A = this chain, B = another copy of it.
Amino acid sequence: MLRRTVPRAFSSATSSLRGLPLDGTTINENVKSAKYAVRGNVLERSMELQRRMAAGEKLPFDTIVPCNIGNPHACLQSPLSFHREVLSLCISPTLASDHPHVFKKDVVERAKAYTAGLGGGVGAYTNSQGIPAVREEIAAFIAERDGHPARADHIYLTNGASEGVRILLTCLLRSGGLHDGLLTPIPQYPLYSASLTLLGGTLVPYLLSEGANWGVEMDNLRESLATARAKGVEVRGIAVINPGNPTGNILAEEQIKDIIEMAVEEKLVVIADEVYQSNIWKKDASFSSFKKVACDMGYTGAEGDERLQLVSFHSTSKGYYGECGLRGGYMEVHGIGAEVRAELYKLSSLSLCSNTIGQLATGIMINPPKKGDPSYETFTKERDDILSSLERRSIMVHTALNDLEGVTCNRADGALYAFPRIRLSNKAKKAAEAKGVPADEFYCLEILDQSGIVLVPGSGFGQEDDTLHFRTTFLPAEATMHETLKNLARAHEKFMDEHRD
């Protein structure tokens, strides 16, 4: 018999005699409480408008512009040829032998190498931690990026970065009435707040400083930690998103160093969300990983060195590849002992393995064609076209936002978003109150109804008290961006005019 069966008796609970239906009152409360704004009310409303347009209704716009989510291919960004061709061949290996003229040599070779390492092709479950050959590729990429060694057995491939965050937080946050918490930036990507609610953990907020280009202020951070501890929260870790989502800031090495020092002192696991590491727009800026800075500081994470505990995340969904749908990603653990690594493996094995195409896409992402390879020229052209266009769009959006009445917006140094602050009149705030929605959501709904542009209210990410923001991507195609920004300006102006005090 299984070890864990019906316990002898529970002291306090009494079950109902006839069971409970599954409905809104008997569902897990943590599920109900979790919020995920990126796919919340404004998106729901946009889907309704889409249906009404499809049914022939005339609206003030011709098309819905999805600026709510970093989903580049939905905004017509093209996939990279080499990447896709290798995946096609991995799925149908005979294509290359049957039609030898169709694929370039390096495409065929890469696909062959992956297929050989798969033992059963893309249709077989892989090692629960991911295909060993791909983990070796990732380790080599990290080593080259950081100038410090990386180990394939410290890497876990996941369905996008989100699954990695779920697995890690499931291990970190203890259940059963222990008040474990996570220092989380405000504003933050709502995966963190939602996961904390779901797992019964406590969000310990630390405010990013809008006045200092959304930087982390250490005094602020230490104060948040002290306050939470004084209230009985066992703070287990700190989440850092770099480059920032929704804020677009890039952390300087000095700042990363300060955070690492504090994490070591205070025994906090650093959760470094680095999925935007290839989206750097600020001139002369570059991305430094937490792993690199940690190793520079001497926290090598060698077996037994658990002074700094760090888990970093990467994804195929962002960068210049934008392969959101394939759900590829990985996490690298550093300073995490064998026992915990084994538990992370077990959690991964519960869903057997992440999808093979996403795993291979992750391999190709971090190991693209090299100089001299037949696909190199096409690859670099495709990559550079995407990156330079994104850079131009980031500037267009940031400039246009600052031109709006009552709006100020920090520059997006990295990532795919702008997070402007909006100042709304009392009349607007009262109108929102009358409708029972937060003022920023009211604003986003009105902009949507007028322009078809889907924004996300700042309240979904968290914002300083008495401030209002929204998040927009700068992903709409460059050819249409000018028009989109004009439409936004027109809708904004109308909103401001209609709600003057």
Chain A residues with CB under 8 Å of chain B are 1-24, 26-36, 38-39, 69, 71-76, 79, 84-85, 87-89, 91-92, 95, 98-99, 102, 118-126, 128, 159-160, 162-163, 166, 170-179, 181, 186, 191, 193-198, 200, 202-205, 227-229, 231-237, 265-269, 306, 309, 317, 322-327, 336-337, 339-340, 343, 346-347, 349-358, 459, 462-465
Main SS class of interface, A: loop
Contact with A1, one of B21, B72, B205, B353 (Cβ below 8 angstroms): B205
Please give the distance in Å from A333's CB to the nearest CB on chain B. Answer: 10
Whether A234 contacts B15 in the complex (CB less than 8 A), given A325-B355, A326-B357, comes out as yes
Nearest residue (CB) in B for A87 is B91
Contacts of A72 in B (CB 8 A): 123-124
Q: How far is the CA of A13 from the CA of B230 in the complex (A)?
A: 10
Nearest residue (CB) in B for A92 is B88
Residues B228 and A6 in contact, CB atoms below 8 Å apart: yes
Contact with A31, one of B123, B197, B269, B343 (Cβ below 8 angstroms): B343
Contacts of A102 in B (CB 8 A): 95, 98-99, 102
Residues A125 and B71 in contact, CB atoms below 8 Å apart: yes
> 7 smallest A-B Cβ distances: which pairs?
A19-B267, A10-B232, A73-B123, A325-B356, A74-B120, A24-B339, A327-B355
A selection of 29 A-B contacts at a CB cut-off of 8 Å is A1-B462, A2-B205, A4-B202, A6-B202, A6-B204, A13-B234, A14-B232, A15-B233, A19-B234, A19-B266, A19-B267, A19-B268, A21-B267, A21-B309, A22-B336, A27-B340, A28-B170, A34-B347, A73-B124, A74-B125, A87-B92, A99-B102, A123-B323, A125-B324, A159-B355, A162-B352, A175-B175, A175-B200, A327-B351
Contact with A231, one of B8, B229, B269, B465 (Cβ below 8 angstroms): B8
Q: How far is the CA of A20 from the CA of B337 in the complex (A)?
A: 14
Please give the distance in Å from A491's CB to the nearest CB on chain B. Answer: 24
Please give the distance in Å from A110's CB to the nearest CB on chain B. Answer: 14
Please give the distance in Å from A466's CB to the nearest CB on chain B. Answer: 9
Residues A325 and B353 in contact, CB atoms below 8 Å apart: yes
Q: How far is the CA of A249 from the CA of B175 in the complex (A)?
A: 37
Contacts of A99 in B (CB 8 A): 99, 102
Q: Which of A2, A13, A203, A354 has the most CB of B within 10 A?
A: A2
Q: How far is the CA of A7 from the CA of B179 in the complex (A)?
A: 10
Please give the distance in Å from A270's CB to the nearest CB on chain B. Answer: 11
Please give the distance in Å from A120's CB to the nearest CB on chain B. Answer: 4
Q: Which of A73, A202, A325 has the most CB of B within 10 A?
A: A325
Please give the distance in Å from A129's CB to the nearest CB on chain B. Answer: 11
Please give the distance in Å from A133's CB to the nearest CB on chain B. Answer: 14
Whether A36 contacts B350 in the complex (CB less than 8 A), given A2-B462, A159-B159, A193-B4, comes out as yes
Contacts of A229 in B (CB 8 A): 15, 17
Residues A123 and B322 in contact, CB atoms below 8 Å apart: yes
Nearest residue (CB) in B for A358 is B355
